[in-house]
Amino acid sequence: MTQATTNTGGGRAASSFPPNWLKKFVSLAFTVAITLLGLLFVTFMIGRVMPIDPVLAVIGERASQAQYDQVYLELGLDKPLIVQFGIYVGDVLQGDFGTSIRTGKPVAEDIARVFPATLELATLGTLLGVVLGVPLGVLAAVYRGSWIDQLSRLIGLVGYSMPIFWLGLMGLLIFYGILGWVAGPGRLGVFYEGLVPTRTGLLLVDALIEGDWDVFKDALSHIVLPACLLGYFSLAYISRMTRSFMLEQLNSEYVITARVKGLSEWHVVWRHAFRNIAIQLITVIALAYANLLEGSVLTEIIFAWPGIGSYITTSLLANDMASVLGGTVVIGTIFVCINIFSDLLYRFFDPRAK
């Protein structure tokens, strides 16, 4: 009897060590580490296969052979490729992406300066896409075949087919050039630059913190057009996915049963069907947000928006590979983190995913 009890206790102890949450955490950490290591390897190889001599990019084409050889050794280009990659990974883990040839400052410092502009723009664009896209997708599914459904499809079709640079130029021409409803390119008018101290890097937030409504209005006037442009593309994606999810739920047996029981249409749609797609929408919205953070390059260029997209593009044109690779690593890391975060939320809100 004592032996049986001892075995049972030992079995329980063995089954609870290591605990499930620790196994999942270790597995997740390993997956993240492998993914980020792969990202670093890809960016490292891009820097090596690009037809740009990193030494000449630093010292210029008129430098002597002695200067060339000295910088070649300082950059570690004489070492084996695997050793160079190890050095690169070590530097990145310390937050060292090198020095920008174009600005003369550390790349990490440049990214910390320009990224808040992209974050502010992408966040507003995503909010617009969610606030307008989710209700539009739900209504399109509920009133399938109606004019609302046709409008939703038209918005999605235009959003997926129209080049973003063309819509941006047309928006500037109409709303800035002709109607004068919004401010032009840039993030802030010249008159208002430097009036608000940088606290968060988000101009709208910093202006609100300081209580400077003139700066806030000017910053809002500059951001509204590019944010609406990104919001439109986010809206097209979110509304289409919401409609697809809702159609699947509205054709389910539990919805038919709820209607037979006499529940109101509002109750059936929002309390039953929409609640079941909310978890799926978390992933969709997270992906839309990540896409705007990494894919707003053309928008930033058209609107002269000083974000990380325009920073990477300008650096690439100037053969500043340290800045290009640093920006690529940051954007890729953010994309991976957002995907992992959305997956964790999905598992948290949906017990079936566990």
Which tens digits make up the pLDDT trace of 235-279? 989 999 999 999 888 888 887 787 777 777 787 888 778 888 888
Domain assignment of residue 37, yes or no: yes
Examine the domain organization and report whether 313 and 346 are in the same domain: yes
Domain assignment of residue 100, yes or no: no
Dump pLDDT digits (tens) for 317-334. Answer: 887 888 888 888 888 888
Asked whether the predicted pLDDT for residue 8 surpasses 50, the reply is: no
Examine the domain organization and report whether 166 and 292 are in the same domain: yes
Q: In this predicted structure, what is the pLDDT of residue 116? A: 92
The share of the chain scoring above pLDDT 90, in percent, equals 13
| Bond before 197 cis per omega within 30 degrees | no
Mark 259-285 as b/e (b = at least 16 C-beta within 10 Å).
Answer: eeeeeeeeebbeebbbebbebbbbebb
Name the nearest CA neighbour of 344 among 282, 274, 287. Answer: 282
Q: How far is CA 72 from CA 40, 69, 219, in A?
A: 22, 5, 45
Higher-scoring residue by pLDDT: 353, 163: 163
Examine the domain organization and report whether 147 and 293 are in the same domain: yes
Q: In this predicted structure, what is the pLDDT of residue 128? A: 93
Dump pLDDT digits (tens) for 224-234. Answer: 999 999 999 88
Least-confidence region, from 20-34, 296-310, 325-339: 20-34
Domain assignment of residue 123, yes or no: yes
**What's the CA angle centered on 349, arms 346 and 351, to 5 degrees?**
95
Q: In this predicted structure, what is the pLDDT of residue 168? A: 87
Mean predicted confidence (pLDDT) in 47-66: 72
Domain end, chosen from 43, 64, 93, is at: 93
- Asked whether the beta carbons of 195 and 261 are under 8 A apart, the reply is no
Examine the domain organization and report whether 171 and 297 are in the same domain: yes
pLDDT band of 350, cuts 50, 70, 90: low
Return all residues near 302 (Cβ < 8 A) that are at least 6 apart. Answer: 165, 168, 169, 172, 185, 226
208 by Cβ neighbours in 10 Å (0-12 / 13-18 / 19+) ranks as middle
The H or E element spanning position 285 is: helix 274-295
Structural domains of the chain, count: 2
Return all residues near 37 (Cβ < 8 A) that are at least 6 apart. Answer: 89
Domain assignment of residue 252, yes or no: yes
Please tell me what DSSP assigns to residue 178: I
Q: In this predicted structure, what is the pLDDT of residue 4? A: 47
| Rounded Cα gap, residues 339 and 323, in angstroms | 24
Q: What is the CATH number of the domain that holds 310?
A: 1.10.3720.10
Sequence letter at residue 329: V
Name the nearest CA neighbour of 223 among 130, 116, 335, 133. Answer: 116
Examine the domain organization and report whether 262 and 325 are in the same domain: yes
Least-confidence region, from 14-18, 162-166, 250-254, 334-338: 14-18
Question: Which residue stretches of 100-181 are H helix?
Answer: 107-142, 147-161, 164-171
Q: Which of 4-8, 9-13, 41-45, 263-267 has the highest mean pLDDT?
A: 41-45
Examine the domain organization and report whether 164 and 113 are in the same domain: yes
Asked whether the predicted pLDDT for residue 39 surpasses 70, the reply is: yes
**Which residues span the domain enclosing 43?**
20-93
| Rounded Cα gap, residues 336 and 342, in angstroms | 10
pLDDT band of 5, cuts 50, 70, 90: very low
- Give the three-state DSSP class for 107: helix
Domain end, chosen from 40, 68, 93, is at: 93
Dump pLDDT digits (tens) for 188-197. Answer: 888 888 788 8
Q: Which of 11-25, 116-130, 159-173, 286-300 has the highest mean pLDDT?
A: 116-130
- Asked whether the beta carbons of 149 and 242 are under 8 A apart, the reply is no
Examine the domain organization and report whether 62 and 135 are in the same domain: no
Name the nearest CA neighbour of 52 among 337, 338, 322. Answer: 322
Asked whether the predicted pLDDT for residue 10 surpasses 60, the reply is: no
Examine the domain organization and report whether 81 and 207 are in the same domain: no
Examine the domain organization and report whether 73 and 113 are in the same domain: no
